[in-house]
Amino acid sequence: MAKKDAAQDSVSAEAKPAGKLKLIIVIVLALLLAVGLSVGGTWYFLHKGAAKSEVETASAEPAVPVKQAAIYEELTPAFVVNFTHNGRARYMQVSIALLVRDQAALDALKVHMPVLRNRLVMLFSSQEFESLITPIGKEMLRQQATASVQELAQKETGKLTVEQVLFTNLVLQ
């Protein structure tokens, strides 16, 4: 009898850990299923709302105009200005291209090209040679040139014709 009781106790002892293991597996699977359903439901409702808002946006607003192609207008001849720096004669040569998007506005601005060139020559000749040596100084000069040309374009044509002034060549000597 004692042997039978001992055998049954060992069988029931083995059955209890297996039962606990099954319970743990069932709980983990239930948690994974809950997380999966939560993520799936969130994804479904967010994409359903996004698709609906895209349809509403597309039907409510007219099509946004596509950005026009860039037109580059080279200003020839290159600008040459001179400086005096520590008693020495210094020179700067700058080749410039204007970035515009509207050919008609560019044609209207070309009428005022002598004024534009004058503004740029005055701007370039008023710079300090020491500041132009650094990349930051060159970029600042480019931004000042862009602002000056945009101001002239706004004044003369009524539109902000020039998007950017680009230096295609800059030589300091």
Count the Cβ atoms, other than its own, within 10 Å of residue 125: 13
Domain count, the chain: 2
Which of 64, 79, 110 terminates a domain? The answer is 64
Which of 64, 80, 99 terminates a domain? The answer is 64
Count the Cβ atoms, other than its own, within 10 Å of residue 94: 24
- 159 and 118 in a single domain? The answer is yes
Confidence of residue 114 (pLDDT cuts 50, 70, 90): very high
Average pLDDT over residues 1-9: 54
- 15 and 90 in a single domain? The answer is no
pLDDT at 41 over 60: yes
Count the Cβ atoms, other than its own, within 10 Å of residue 101: 14
pLDDT at 130 over 90: no
- 122 and 146 in a single domain? The answer is yes
Average pLDDT over residues 53-80: 74
**Structural domain containing residue 139:** 71-172
Which of 64, 97, 113 terminates a domain? The answer is 64
Average pLDDT over all residues of the chain: 82
